[in-house]
A and B are shown apart, each in its own frame.
Chain A
Amino acid sequence: MNPNTILLVEDNPDDELLTLRAFERGGIANPIVVVRDGIEALDYLFARGAFAGRTAGAPLLVLLDLKLPRLGGLEVLRAVRADPVCGTVLVLVLTSSRDDSDIARAYELGANGYVQKPVEFDDFVRVTRAIGTYWLMTNVPPQVGP
């Protein structure tokens, strides 16, 4: 897989479309893979289930919603951090919630950052641009995988 891939974990199709549009407007050209619940996210990251045959490697960045069907975002985060192979992958929580307990739990479980999805699209574009500038261009990512 392309080592610059972004994994977007998002169950709301409207938010998926808006996020992709915001990335495009924000000038982020990385390939984006979208999965729609927590189980699919783990299947992708651990290259199992529907993703058993995918080429090896971890995404550069995971954008993780918290409210997800089947398995919630915080559970996904816990499972990822417990994994010896992709435990250090960069995970940014991207969610509507600004609940103090969600923020605290996310960091306790090892999120690299926490970003609230803005309602205004222009703000959303600004946020994605900031994510691109820092997490994709400035930050030196960890070596993930064997």
Chain B
Amino acid sequence: MSVDEPADPRATQPPIARSGEFLEAILDNLPLMVFVKEAEELRYVRLNPAGQRLTGLDRREIVGKTDFDIFPPDIAAFFREKDRRTLEEGTVVDIPEEQVQTHDGRRWLHTLKVPIPGPDGRPSYLLGISLDITETRNAQTETRRAKEAAEGSNRELEAFAYSVSHDLRAPLRSIAGFSQALLEDEDDRLSDRGKDYLARVRAAAQRMTGLIDDLLELSRVGRAELRHAHVDLGAIAREIIDELRAADPSRDVVTVVEGDLLVHGDPTLFTVMLRNLLDNAWKYSSKRSRAHIEVRGTRVADQLVLTVHDDGAGFDTALAGRLFSPFHRLHSATEFPGDGIGLATVRRVVHRHGGRVSAEGSPDGGATFTVHLPIAGSSS
């Protein structure tokens, strides 16, 4: 449009806009319930077609009536209270959730109530606009219920695992204790074969003790309330490595702990995590005449990236995903002893801190575990 040729305003307006029909058409086709009450006695003066469809009320039934003539008392009282507030405050009132009685049972609405001022400036009408949110709300409730049910059964399962693990200890103590008593007391009457059988019974009891301890730890890591502290993962790693060396002094292992290893989180759970990772590194590198274990930390944006690397037996990276599921192992127990719970525990610690863990390796080419942790910490 050029500046020196002003347009005829009527040419840009469709004919309908020149009459009250324009507003009528908007109200009739608006897919939201619109109603108007007069401000004195709060009697309905208007309900648009979307409102009639939603409530199942005819506009002729409703005009001139109050909410108390139409709705059950609890609903009418709720509407009345919001109406009064809107008119008294003279501003828009937002009601995120309210119930209305319809021909199809009660439904949920998100409603805005607006005072419409008269000639004297005081509100003479009350305008209401409502969106039916029943479906969204039901879906949300359903999701919340499903989530609560899942959390509840998880907690039950944890408690069950915990109690079972404890109850399994008592018979184990009998098996371990009395087989040892037999070896001690009846040594001269047992054949070599008999002694070998008993040694196997004791070894099995020991493995089961380890399994139960690991299950208890896995359960505890999931249930424990998170503490929050500044944690130096490097100091913890050095302590664990010292313990591993002390328990196995014949090994030749070159260790490196370096980089930025400060993070925020639960010191006990981080100790559990590092102990499991370093136990693994120590164990799977046991067939190297001289093994290397490296713990490194780097800061990437707001995350600490921790890697624990060993040059031991390794594994095929394609199978790495399974490593973090309980009881999944990539090596036989005769090759490397273990129960397959340690890395599940590691993953649980990392997840509880809002981080993630992954593994890389190659058969006979060592393994690297990478943990991403939010430095500021995160609770779950």
List residues of chain A with CB under 8 Å of any chain B CB.
12, 14-15, 18, 21, 96-100, 117-122, 124
Contact = CB atoms under 8 A, between A and B. Distances in A.
Q: Which 7 A-B pairs have the closest CB atoms?
A: A14-B174, A18-B177, A121-B177, A119-B209, A96-B169, A121-B180, A119-B173
B170 A12 contact: yes
A98 B216 contact: yes
B177 A97 contact: no
A146 B37 CA distance: 85
A88 B310 CA distance: 54
Contacts of B224: 100
Interface of B: 162, 166-167, 169-174, 176-178, 180-181, 205-206, 209, 216, 220, 224
A18 B171 CA distance: 12
Contacts of A14: 170-171, 173-174, 177-178
Q: Count chain A CB atoms within 10 A of each CB in B169, B173, B209 and give the residue with the most.
A: B173
Contacts of B176: 119-121
A97 B169 CA distance: 9
A12 B172 CA distance: 13
Given A99-B166, A120-B206, A121-B180, A18 B173 contact: yes
A15 B171 CA distance: 9
B170 A99 contact: no
A119 B178 contact: no
Given A119-B205, A121-B181, A97 B166 contact: yes
A15 B170 contact: yes
A56 B195 CA distance: 48
Contacts of A100: 220, 224
Q: Count chain B CB atoms within 10 A of each CB in A96, A100, A119 and give the residue with the most.
A: A119
A32 to B, nearest CB: 17
B162 A99 contact: yes
Contacts of B180: 121-122
B177 A124 contact: yes
Contacts of A15: 170, 173-174
A96 to B, nearest CB: 5
A89 to B, nearest CB: 26
Contacts of A124: 173, 177
Contacts of B167: 96
A21 B220 CA distance: 32
Nearest to A122: B180
B181 A96 contact: no
26 contacts: A12-B170, A14-B170, A14-B177, A15-B170, A15-B174, A18-B173, A18-B174, A18-B177, A18-B178, A21-B181, A96-B167, A96-B169, A96-B173, A118-B173, A119-B169, A119-B172, A119-B173, A119-B205, A119-B209, A120-B209, A121-B176, A121-B177, A121-B180, A122-B180, A124-B173, A124-B177
Contacts of A21: 177, 181
A121 to B, nearest CB: 4
A13 to B, nearest CB: 9
A122 B177 CA distance: 8
A96 B205 CA distance: 16
Given A14-B170, A99-B166, A119-B205, 10 more contacts: A14-B174, A15-B170, A15-B174, A96-B167, A96-B169, A118-B173, A119-B176, A121-B181, A122-B180, A124-B177
Contacts of B178: 14, 18
B2 to A, nearest CB: 82
Nearest to A102: B166
Contacts of B206: 120
Contacts of B174: 14-15, 18
Contacts of B209: 119-120
Contacts of B220: 100
A71 B310 CA distance: 53
A99 B205 CA distance: 22
Contacts of A122: 180
A131 to B, nearest CB: 17
A101 to B, nearest CB: 11
Nearest to B171: A14
A122 B202 CA distance: 12
A99 B209 CA distance: 16
Given A119-B172, A120-B209, A96 B166 contact: yes
Nearest to B206: A120
Nearest to A118: B173
Nearest to B220: A100
Q: Count chain B CB atoms within 10 A of each CB in A21, A121, A122 and give the residue with the most.
A: A121
A101 B176 CA distance: 28
A141 B349 CA distance: 43
A97 B176 CA distance: 18
